[in-house]
Structure 1
């Protein structure tokens, strides 16, 4: 049965989870150990734990600190994959998107509409329209629709609905629906959901070796990055969900074979919402010569991206360049009535897509590589998964757990089609009572909706902190979107270890405010420091390290090559090196 107490990732519970992992000996191994705390690893841990297995999950950095916090923040079917005739992937993604909206994560995934502009009146309306019609038809097979059907917009209607589009270039449009998600929070909630089902989870716990008994892998050796302690974790089955770090981990395991992953860089920028007039919760999608361009409404901002370029450097050093930013601005301006400039850019973030390497290296852009996932036995006792897309994480988790336990625990089916992610149960009741919540705490509608989307039914825990200390209802001085209570809750329940964990993933200040969170660093550190046991020296180190990290990112964003960007970022880590 799920344990609400276990779901709180506190500093004390981190030690309890580490003790549980340390207690997984050769005589008492875990059933399943998952390496990698992105969406696929967290999903696999949740899936395995809900099957009643004893589960461990370790991540070298923070939850979702890699690809899974740097996406386009969409749970979508992948309209562009229809053009590649990848019908299976699209159908699977649409089914999973609807499941999240309707049942398992309605508090974390919500519908959003997109306008697809037409530049050629007859051809685009016929070609794009037929594709979207098929997209909608695939959502109607055997289930109730989670989002509305598409509709065509004539020129005047389009401009009324989305005034920010360039009406001289664009002759009409089509509007269709998908969904969006706060990616980093989604992964953290998955981790908490796994913990709720007794999984032992530990971030900042690096795998430094794989344990073997003959040819079989039976666990890992790890290092706690907070204390420097090293210990072994024994497991009957180990699952590698390493994303773009997959090959590095396979080499560490001494595997003779394995999955090959192609890293493709995608960057996004944010601009203020009022810079592009549009109907609420309506974005834009259009094709570029190299990728797809999204203009996505994100609370008070627009998230605009993305790029698709090979990344041939250390995955830990990914960063946007000035040329990347210019590319996104140029292609956004191609569809907007008023040009955006570098001065409009509030924030920038970059991530790497882990795409399966084809058997023969394909010519041209990495965007031609299929996004379908693959599960593979790298070594006896070690299974790996790669590929896929964010929206299909649950299917990927089910597949890799099925594969890993097929001999050791046959007949244990996945339950995650019906088991909700933490915060979903009771969410609709809070939505129904949101006016009372707003009135009691003095919130406007925007803040109430924002809080419900971030926490779901766990909002009651955040509000309880305010009831205990009314000063926590105050917003941060330099980041008014977020309450002081949210910062305290991050330290008490959401598994933060470093200051950057709060600023960049529990909040999103590194791209939602112009100072990238540096102005709020001291205020946030003053709230979380006492909870995390920091002394004055540690607090100062955390603040200084974060500010240096942002300075390095800004230096990278002024560069003109990936080499320069990687070198800039390499000079300033996101978190302090301890002990």
Structure 2
């Protein structure tokens, strides 16, 4: 993906649809529209998936909680959500097998009745899923459960095993955007919409500012599609100041603990918390993510950060389910995201339906894709682009259900052995390349023929210097955070190591992007200060978090 070339396209071409927001739904819509033959632009004020779409629990699921509520309340709408989610779960994994896979999840229970209740519910969950490649669940006695997850509490009666999907959310969104670009979309990150021009009240062009250079251009399109998630109201009001707000933002955070917290490849579902939510503890790489919370969030101008009371809540929630209780000193990172809940009369964010809606504002012509969740991003995008086709008077059927994303076609994880033999790279690096880039892994490996780029950044991790060069040249990475938070997921899992590696990453990026020494130093300092803010905001001391280097 060449940012400069695509910026030129934005200036020179006129598009059928300009999609604003390059998270799950926006990037998904861009791919869908491009595959239908429409002329498409995709822009985002930040990086791809830099907000909500990179800060999920990393699960692809139908929604166990929705199923329980659907049965208790005889709510067919929630049951439909579960069915759609489970159908899309198969598609998400099939289309990018390097980035998504089934995940085994254990639910510890503390009585025979609780075990029976969960078994019945999760058996129904499997039945709704139908015949797919996912293993079916089972009810395990205590010994069987401990054999699979030895750090579970001995106080449990038994555990119920079921399966859902796990994925790398930021790289999945990047794969969608990259696939859309290869299908003909003009894709540009760090391009913010600051206004619109109109003809007879209808939007005709968007004023777009390059957030890296300050240059401003007009992007012409027949239809504008708002896919900005929790920030949708700001764009809706920019297009029509008289419109009612529709989004109720909800904040969810995760804490990150060492993998030894679980000591297993099996995740844990905590089905009942003090305030009626569900919480997961999920192995992800060499860490365990614990989350999430669910609280109203007011100031969308501020990045959601981990707060001390949220840390305490998650530690206390997971404590009864583990033999060894985690404590604050073990927390290595954390992250927060904002859910785009559609406004409802219900009082509590945890009871709001995370469904989606395609809204058309007749006054401005703006289309907005509101609400939704990662699992059903493809259906959301399909619905939105169906509406785009109606307004273009050029309806074309969606083909995304069976379309492999970048890196997914003919993917074989075992090809890491061939990479190791051919390029002489460490085994852990080759495995990491396959899981990160799929069938594009060899394009990264070829860069290691320059011997300096074959080096690891640090012995304890699989990351290669060649990856940074590839991410700049092929994946439109332009800031340190693009690499460390999203192309890799290091910021989410280890604040200390992220700060430690920032200068090396900056040196590699500076050579590719022609940064001055002053700009390189500014990038490093600003990023390390941001990490320091995360630590202080979470109420962790430097000694506790071991990030004394900051």
Partner residue in 1 for 2:133 = 146
Summarize the alignment of residues 407-556 of structure 1 with structure 2, pairs less than 5 Å apart.
407-428=391-412, 431-442=413-424, 446-466=428-448, 468-477=449-458, 480-515=461-496, 517-556=498-537
Partner residue in 1 for 2:381 = 397
Cα distance between partner residues in 2 of 1:316 and 1:37: 19
Give the counterpart of 1:320 among 278, 300, 306.
Answer: 306
Cα offset, 1:442, TM superposition: 4.7
Cα offset, 1:34, TM superposition: 0.2
Give the counterpart of 1:130 among 101, 104, 120.
Answer: 120
**Pairing 1:303–2:294 present:** no
Question: Any idea what SS the aligned residue of 1:198 has?
Answer: coil
The verdict on how the C-alpha distance between 1:308 and 1:175 changes in structure 2, with shifts beyond 3 A counting, is: same
CA deviations on 1:56-115 (whole Å, 9 max, x unpaired) are 01100111110011110111111111022111111111111101223x111111111100
CA deviations on 1:31-69 (whole Å, 9 max, x unpaired) are 010001111111111110111110001100111110011
Question: Any idea what SS the aligned residue of 1:317 has?
Answer: coil
The verdict on how the C-alpha distance between 1:484 and 1:282 changes in structure 2, with shifts beyond 3 A counting, is: same
Partner residue in 2 for 1:19 = 8
Cα offset, 1:20, TM superposition: 0.7
CA deviations on 1:492-529 (whole Å, 9 max, x unpaired) are 11111112211111122213224151111111111111
CA deviations on 1:347-387 (whole Å, 9 max, x unpaired) are 111111111111x2x22x30100011111102453100111
Partner residue in 2 for 1:106 = 97
Partner residue in 2 for 1:58 = 43
TM-score by length of 2: 0.93
Question: Any idea what SS the aligned residue of 1:549 has?
Answer: helix
Cα distance between partner residues in 2 of 1:117 and 1:410: 52
CA deviations on 1:263-318 (whole Å, 9 max, x unpaired) are 1111111111123222x354444331332111111111111111111111124431
1:35 and 1:239 in contact (8 A); partners too: yes
Partner residue in 1 for 2:228 = 242
Question: Any idea what SS the aligned residue of 2:462 has?
Answer: strand
Cα distance between partner residues in 1 of 2:269 and 2:432: 22
Cα distance between partner residues in 2 of 1:387 and 1:411: 24
Which consecutive aligned stretches of 4+ in structure 1 deviate over 6 angstroms post-superposition?
none
2:236 and 2:366 in contact (8 A); partners too: no
2:93 and 2:101 in contact (8 A); partners too: yes
Partner residue in 2 for 1:4 = none
Question: Any idea what SS the aligned residue of 2:400 has?
Answer: coil
Cα offset, 1:156, TM superposition: 1.5
Output the aligned Cα RMSD.
Answer: 1.8
Cα distance between partner residues in 2 of 1:327 and 1:237: 44
1:479 and 1:513 in contact (8 A); partners too: no
Summarize the alignment of residues 61-460 of structure 1 with structure 2, pairs less than 5 Å apart.
61-85=46-70, 86-102=78-94, 104-122=95-113, 124-140=114-130, 144-168=131-155, 170-257=156-243, 260-278=246-264, 280-290=265-275, 291-358=277-344, 360=345, 362-363=346-347, 365-379=348-362, 380-428=364-412, 431-442=413-424, 446-460=428-442
Q: Which runs of 5+ in 1 are unaligned?
A: 1-8, 560-579
TM-score by length of 1: 0.89
Question: Any idea what SS the aligned residue of 1:495 has?
Answer: coil
Question: Any idea what SS the aligned residue of 2:194 has?
Answer: strand
Cα distance between partner residues in 2 of 1:58 and 1:525: 25
Cα offset, 1:152, TM superposition: 0.9
Cα offset, 1:126, TM superposition: 2.5
Partner residue in 1 for 2:543 = none
Partner residue in 2 for 1:6 = none
The verdict on how the C-alpha distance between 1:187 and 1:258 changes in structure 2, with shifts beyond 3 A counting, is: farther
